[in-house]
């Protein structure tokens, strides 16, 4: 399950896209966006400062 894969996850939502941070068994919603491009850009900007943090873009 996604909850157990640590890192940043960009997900589709009913309102656009969101970025979640998974740490251990906890999931934190960091931000919501109207479009996927903004969500991916946000996640990649976090990764630039934290290169060891995996980023996954997850679509159905």
Q: Please state, in angstroms and rounded to a whole number, the distance separating the CA atoms of residues 54 and 60.
A: 19
State how far the Cα of 47 lies from the Cα of 20, in Å rounded to an integer.
13
The whole-number pLDDT of residue 1 equals 46
pLDDT band at 59 (very low <50, low <70, confident <90, very high): confident
> Is the pLDDT higher at 2 or at 27?
27
pTM: 0.88
| DSSP secondary structure code for residue 2 in this structure | G
- The mean pLDDT of 54-58, rounded to a whole number, is 95
Number of H helices, E strands in the chain: 1, 4
Largest CA distance in the chain: 30
**pLDDT at residue 60 is higher than 80:** no
pLDDT tens digits, 15-55: 999 999 999 999 999 999 999 999 999 999 999 999 999 99
């Amino acid at each position: 399950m996604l909850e157990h894969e640590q890192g940043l996850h960009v997900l589709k939502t009913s309102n656009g896209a969101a970025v979640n941070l998974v740490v251990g068994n906890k999931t934190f919603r960091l931000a919501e966006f109207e479009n996927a491009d903004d969500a991916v850009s946000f996640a990649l900007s976090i990764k630039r400062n934290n290169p060891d943090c995996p980023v996954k873009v997850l679509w159905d």
